[in-house]
Amino acid sequence: MAETAQPVAEKVRVYQRSEHNISRSRISDNALKVLYRLQKEGFDAYLVGGCVRDLLLGREPKDFDVVTNADPEQVKRVFRNCRIIGRRFRLAHVYFGKDVIEVATFRGVGESQNDKQLLNPEGRLLRDNVYGTIEEDVWRRDFTVNALYYNIKDFSVIDYVNGMEDHQSATLRLIGDPETRFREDPVRMLRAVRFTVKLGFKLDAACEQALCQLVGLLVNIPAARLYDEALKLFLYGCALQTFESLRHYGLFQVLFPGTEKCLATEDNDFPRMLISKALQNSDNRVAEGKSVTAYFLFAVLLWEPVQSLAKQKISQGESEYIAYQEAANEIIAKQVKRTAMPRHISLAMREVWSLQPKFDVRVGVKPSRLLSHPRFRAGYDFLLLRAETGGADVELVNWWGTFQNASETEQRKMTQPQRKRSSGKAGRKRSYRKKTAADQSTGTEA
């Protein structure tokens, strides 16, 4: 990569203020404070990455990232409200209350660096903690549209990799050779899908070809990192389209192999309908500014593998309760090897699953007890989702919808056992009276 940095610098293009649509009025005040303060102290300072990309697209950036030629210690000396974080590459976080502006130092390529020069006092290897120039920094980024630098000095946009042209053509393109970049970090394949969906871009043909050939590399990525990527894929408003795109490129089976197996072999379309409906609901909630819980979506994504395994165990003579408990344990144990979800997530998933058969009981005190369960609402929403996609009884869902909103008196009536009524003479109530002397003499009975 070091050899290719110089040619990139030769074809740099600077877009002046009149040639782009980024206005300082759309940049956060705190980000501007950091940029101007660094500039005042004699350092170069730029906005870079997703915030520049989103500003060019007319969107409101979620975060504003700053890059500079000041190292983290120098940044900390400039800002008292600063904390240095990171192990592989140190970053400066400048705090303004709850708002955090991340400041990174230009990264270098570092191939010629000696490992001994990159050990901290505790002996930790800091191979990635190599600082460089802006021309080197651009090559440490992934996609061209994420490698544009907004210069606060003259309000220009600096482009080393034809990122502005890719913006205009709505193309997502890797910087450099796609196969090489995917091999450097296979997670870029997931990021490629996420960005194409999020931005409404098309994937560059060379990137698409390399992606399809190198999907298997993701299997060797740490499960904890894949879990973090899965959250980004499914929790931010484009879950349904992302799901379809992941399946199209064969990436979904890397994240959820058990689920993909069920989707590929099921005779009916219920599993896919369940997942699609849940993801669409999630996207609707995000659009409405509501929260989305990771455990609920993971419970949906893994429900069919749990059901399939439980049915196998039941057919082998296992009781239904034990079969579902064991199936849940086995499916989660397998899944954490791909996406290492935290324990509190897996526990919440189990609770949602374990509540499903309890909704079948509608007599006695158990329904009232179930209402007080901390996961009742999630469990009911899961039941509703199943009913909407043909996996549960609609009448059962309606009963619980009425029950949870009824008064205590009405709830008691709804949960009382229904008395069986007999028909015909056998069902008529007989009356008894004492036999009279006349009755006894005739031998008749009252």
Domain of 103, in residue numbers: 1-169
Supply 359's token pair. Answer: 């909704």
Summarised one tens digit per residue, pLDDT across range 252-273 is 999 999 999 999 876 667 888 9
Q: What is the mean pLDDT of residues 204-216?
A: 96
Per-residue pLDDT at 80? 92
| Residues 15 and 102 placed together within one structural domain of the fold | yes
Does residue 314 lie within any of the structural domains? no
pLDDT of amino acid 444: 39
Residues 73-88 have a mean pLDDT of 92
165 with 181, same domain: the answer is no
Q: What is the pLDDT of residue 110?
A: 56
What is d(CA 198, CA 138) in angstroms, rounded to the nearest whole number? 22
Residues 50 and 16 in one domain: yes
What pLDDT sits at residue 98?
A: 92
Give the per-residue pLDDT at 6: 40
Residue 279 makes CB contacts below 8 A (sequence gap 6+) with 234, 239, 240, 243, 297
The type of residue at 255 is L
Helix (H, G, I), strand (E, B) or coil at 174: strand
| Strand 99-105 relative to strand 65-68, pairing | parallel
The whole-number pLDDT of residue 320 equals 87
Average pLDDT for the chain: 88
Do 54 and 85 fall within a single domain?
yes
pLDDT at 270: 80
Q: Binning pLDDT at 50, 70 and 90, where does residue 428 land?
A: low
Alpha helices (H) in 336-393, listed in sequence order: 343-355, 366-371, 376-388
Q: What percent of the chain has pLDDT over 90?
A: 80
Total count of domains within the chain? 2
- Distance, first Cα to last Cα, the chain: 108
d(CA 440, CA 442): 6
Task: Render pLDDT for 21-55 as a digit per residue (tens, 0 to 9).
Answer: 999 999 999 999 999 999 999 999 999 999 999 99
Classify residue 131: in a domain, yes or no.
Answer: yes
Q: Give Cβ neighbours of residue 23 (< 8 Å, ≥ 6 apart).
A: none
In this model, does residue 156 exceed pLDDT 80? yes
**pLDDT surpassing 60 at residue 195:** yes
Average pLDDT over residues 369-394: 95
Q: Using CA atoms in the order 7, 11, 15, 16, what is the torsion angle rounded to 10 degrees?
A: 100
Span 317-339, average pLDDT: 94
Q: Do residues 52 and 182 share a domain?
A: no
Instruction: Kindly list the catalytic residues.
Output: 63, 65, 142
* Beta strands, E only, 193-305: 202-203
DSSP β-bridge partners for residue 151: 46, 156
Residue 430 has pLDDT above 70, yes or no: no
